[in-house]
């Protein structure tokens, strides 16, 4: 009944909403949740990093899809945008609906 | 000082706020946190699933209460409502206040 | 590429925004994310605990910094304020930027 999956969380700039929605879906997330967030960084973050609203994306995916999402985020956004991304292990009820065929 | 407990996260439709608040409390959560969320699903979710605001509930509970909460969510809401529920292991400061007598 | 770190989550009263921002930075968090939250407690929480908006802080830090943050929260706020704090293990892309020199 419960399935072990990966929870990917990404906090990024609000203007990237469409791009990250597409990135998640293209890399194996069948759905995701967005909450509005505010961020603050003091060290090693650019001044503009945390101005304006941020968005916090969450997606439950297979371990393979989590790796794929993180690689895509790193490749496309880390150079030029403010992005934080992390993965944690979770147990999900009806987990099978979060794992697309390409990620089983 | 730190106690290992379960963090239950549930994302569901805003209209179910009262029902899920009751469900959590009836199944061993002494308190919970709610944030407003927006969801999007592309595969296997009904069209209406993610219209309007969603709510993201979080509750710190015992492992037994987590199982009980997930079972109740599955039994009562999965057929007819849009619900995602997952559990992760966390370490909590003053964890004892999150564990009701029935769940020790 | 991925680094194992600690995700510290703190839910507290909105009026403590500045204090907790400072507490996090003073104890090793190079940045953090804040989301608005609403809380509800039924057992063992004071009546005023969950009135008005709450804030949910998240910070990715070293394991040592996580312990330091939790100890500071416990020492300064648990007596007189409504605070919940927990830690979970996460894997972070470009984790090195979340670990200050004092916490390596």
Chain B residues inside the 8 Å CB shell of C41: 30-32
A:20-59 residues touching chain B, CB 8 A cutoff = 21, 25, 30-36
* Residues constituting chain B: 104
Q: What's the CA gap between B29 and A77, in Å, rounded?
A: 39
**Nearest residue of A to residue C36 by CA position?**
A37
Q: Which residue of A has its CA nearest to C34?
A: A38
pLDDT at residue number B72: 96
Between CA A59 and CA A92 the distance in angstroms is 12
Report CB contact under 8 Å: C84, B33: yes
- pTM check: above 0.90: no
CATH number of A2-54+61-92: 3.30.70.120
More confident residue, A19 or C51: A19
pLDDT at residue B49, rounded to an integer = 45
**Helices (runs of H) and strands (runs of E) counted in chain A:** 2, 4
For A38, A41, C57, the CA distances from C21, given in Å and listed in that order, are 12, 10, 8
- What pLDDT was estimated at residue B34? 94
Query: In chain A, what percentage of residues exceed pLDDT 90?
Result: 66
CA distance readout (Å), B73 to A93, B26, B56, B77, B81: 9, 12, 14, 5, 10
Question: Which of B84, B89, B90 to mutate to probe the A interface, most A CBs <10 Å?
Answer: B84
Chain A residue numbers touching B20 (CB-CB < 8 A): none
Q: What is the least distance, in Å, from the CA of C1 to any CA of chain A?
A: 9
The closest CB to that of C88, out of B1, B32, B89, belongs to B89
Neighbours of chain B (3+ CB pairs under 8 A): A, C
Q: Which residues contact B47 (CB under 8 A, 6 or more apart)?
A: none
pLDDT score of A9 more than 80: yes
Nearest to A39 among C7, C31, C97 (CB): C31
The interface residues of chain A toward chain B in range 65-104, judged by CB-CB distance below 8 A, are 88-94, 97, 100
CATH topology for the C2-88 domain: Alpha-Beta Plaits (3.30.70)
Chain C closest-CA separation from residue B95 CA (Å): 9
The residue ranges of DSSP E strands in chain A, in sequence order, are: 2-13, 31-41, 54-61, 83-93
Position A67 scores a pLDDT of: 96
Rounded to 5°, the CA angle A35-A67-C57 comes to 30
Residue A3 half-sphere exposure toward CB, CA atoms < 13 A: 16
Q: What residue ranges do the domains of chain B occupy?
A: 2-93
pLDDT higher than threshold 50 for residue C33:
yes
Closest residue to B70, CB basis, from A7, A31, A93: A93
* Whole-angstrom distance, CA of residue A104 vs CA of residue A46: 39
Among partner residues A41, A42, A73, which is closest to C93 by beta-carbon distance?
A: A73
Q: Which chains touch A (3 or more CB pairs under 8 A)?
A: B, C
pLDDT per residue as tens digits for the range C60-87? 999 999 999 999 999 999 888 889 999 9
Lookup: tokens for C6:
């600690």
Position A82 scores a pLDDT of: 87
Positions in chain B whose pLDDT score sits under 50: 42-51, 101-104
Per-residue model confidence (pLDDT) at position A49: 45
What topology is assigned to B2-93 in CATH?
Answer: Alpha-Beta Plaits (3.30.70)
Rounded to whole angstroms, the Cα distance separating B71 from B67 reads 6
Residue B87, pLDDT score: 97
Q: What is the ipTM of this complex?
A: 0.84
Question: What confidence category does residue C57 fall into, taking pLDDT thresholds of 50, 70 and 90?
Answer: very high
Query: Residue A30, class by beta-carbon neighbours within 10 Å (0-12 exposed, 13-18 middle, 19+ buried)?
Result: buried
Share of chain C above pLDDT 70, in %: 83
More confident residue, A34 or B48: A34
* Residue at token pair 């004092």: C102
C9 forms beta bridges with C58, C86
Q: Mean pLDDT throughout C15-25? A: 95
The strand pair at C2-13 and C54-61 is best described as antiparallel
Which pair of tokens denotes residue B12? Answer: 């569901």
Residue of A nearest to B78 (CA): A94
């Amino acid at each position: 009944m419960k399935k072990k999956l990966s929870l990917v969380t990404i906090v990024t700039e609000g203007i990237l909403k469409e791009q990250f929605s597409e990135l998640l879906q293209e890399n194996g997330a069948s759905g995701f949740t967005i909450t509005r967030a505010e961020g603050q960084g003091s060290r090693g973050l650019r001044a503009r990093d945390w101005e304006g609203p941020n968005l916090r994306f969450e997606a439950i995916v297979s371990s393979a899809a989590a790796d794929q999402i993180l690689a895509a985020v790193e490749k496309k956004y880390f150079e030029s945008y403010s992005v934080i991304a992390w993965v944690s292990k979770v147990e999900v009820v009806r987990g099978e609906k979060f794992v697309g065929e390409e990620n089983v």
